[in-house]
Amino acid sequence: MSSVNKVEGIYAGVDVGSLASKSVVLRDGEIIGQAIIASGLSSDASGKSVLLEALANAGVELADVNHVVATGYGRITASYATKTITEISCHARGTNFLYPNVRTIIDMGGQDCKAIRVDGTGNVSDFAMNDKCAAGTGRFLEVMAGVFKTPLGELGDLALKATGHVPMSSTCTVFVESETISLLARGENPSNILAGIHYAIARRIAGLFARVGIESDVFFSGGVAKNKGMKEAIETVLKVSIVEPIFDPQLTGALGAAVFAQAIGAREAKKLVEA
């Protein structure tokens, strides 16, 4: 893994999402700890809990940490953080840390989906976001998992078994749920229905990229990136090849937050040298 902008010390990033809270710990520019937990009712408590778990996994104490940056929808209540930064910027910086050749990012989280364009240093050059509807998000797939009575993590594998795609008339969560129940009752192949759902989401994502454009390399970040059926559908619809992850894609935002925390340390070190 990259040690770009290597800075001595321990830095942490926390990404508090609607479904999961994540944390990554860096020491001297290298990843030494990570954790993912389900988000609770309190964003602040969830952030603290996942940070402490990541630190424990790294074998360090909170007192050893130089700076913590928080991101995600729960960042506004992060009492433990030195600074808060938007998840778009953090996903961009985390992606650049691991995959410096990536210029386009697909980020699918619990409540939204983003199309992000970045430059060679991990700065955001353009983005488009769907946060008005649950379609194309982790919450949408969570609802579908309930309909199919299948663990969320197995939806993509089930979709990959399809022999065809059942067209979906809508990407609205409520309508797709109702349509799916009717299709199952009619005896349609569950895998074919799921494949149709995944392709419908991919076409919705294509609409975001129609606004910002696509440039290689392409990376898929967020928890939904673990869904192989979703990855295949996006690659087919967008006619792209997605970079294979070398690190858990669900942790990309937290990693980016840790990289930003490290940058704060670098600025402080520079000021001390110049003083």
pLDDT for the residue numbered 3: 43
Contact yes or no for 199/159 (Cβ under 8 A): no
Q: What is the largest CA-CA distance in the chain?
A: 75
Contact yes or no for 258/85 (Cβ under 8 A): no
Question: Residue 133: how many CB atoms within 10 A of its CB?
Answer: 15
In order along its 275 residues, the chain shows pLDDT tens digits of 444 445 689 999 999 998 899 999 999 999 999 999 999 999 999 999 999 999 999 999 999 999 999 999 999 999 999 999 999 999 999 999 999 999 999 999 888 899 999 999 999 999 999 866 666 678 889 899 999 999 999 999 999 999 999 988 776 777 888 999 999 999 999 999 999 999 989 998 999 999 999 999 999 999 999 999 999 999 999 999 999 999 999 999 999 999 999 999 988 877 777 76
Q: What is the pTM of this model?
A: 0.93
d(CA 96, CA 94): 5
Q: Supply φ then ψ for residue 247, to 5 degrees.
A: -150, 150
Helix (H) or strand (E) holding 14: strand 10-16
User: Which residue do the tokens 């001390």 mark?
Assistant: 272
pLDDT for the residue numbered 216: 95
Structural domains in the chain, CATH included, are 10-95+250-274 (3.30.420.40), 102-242 (3.30.420.40)
Closest CA to 90 of 121, 66, 68, 122: 122
Q: Are strands 104-108 and 30-38 parallel, antiparallel or unpaired?
A: unpaired
